[in-house]
Amino acid sequence: MALEAAVIIPVIVLFVGLVIILASDALAQQAVGAAASQAARAASLERSPQAARRAAESAVGAALSDSNVACREQSVSVDTAGLRAPRGTPARVTVTVTCVVAYDVSFPGFPEQRRMTQTRFSPVDTYRGR
């Protein structure tokens, strides 16, 4: 019985650790994607490229903070070409969020941090004054 426990318990601990790491990775990836979506929406509502960039950066910071995702490095890239499109022309604003996420739990063979990049876009109102 002791031999079986000596073999089974480490396997169970490794399995639980693996599940925790993979779940943390999936949740962080989802949080970065959601932050990119919120940033794109916030940027598409603005009328100037500068205001759109500020709104996107603010939305990313708030979304990642709400999700309890701490980035060691973070960058937000905003393509605001859609804000300059003529009225009546379909256009969109694209936001790319890059975040280096550090995991609370480390596991042999898995990285302690991972760079995640997500790109999302949001349409600009076609008939809005620009």
What tens digit of pLDDT does each residue of 84-96 get?
888 888 999 999 9
Helix-helix angle 2-44:49-66, to 10 degrees? 160
Per-residue model confidence as pLDDT tens digits over 13-32? 888 888 888 888 899 999 99
Name the residue ranges covered by the structural domains of the chain.
Answer: 1-123
What pLDDT does residue 106 have? 74
Supply the pTM of this predicted model.
Answer: 0.85
Shortest CA distance to 71 belongs to which of 107, 33, 28? 28
Average pLDDT, the chain: 90
pLDDT at 102 over 70: yes
CA 130 to chain centre: 29
pLDDT higher than 70, residue 73: yes
- Band of residue 108 on the pLDDT scale cut at 50, 70, 90: confident
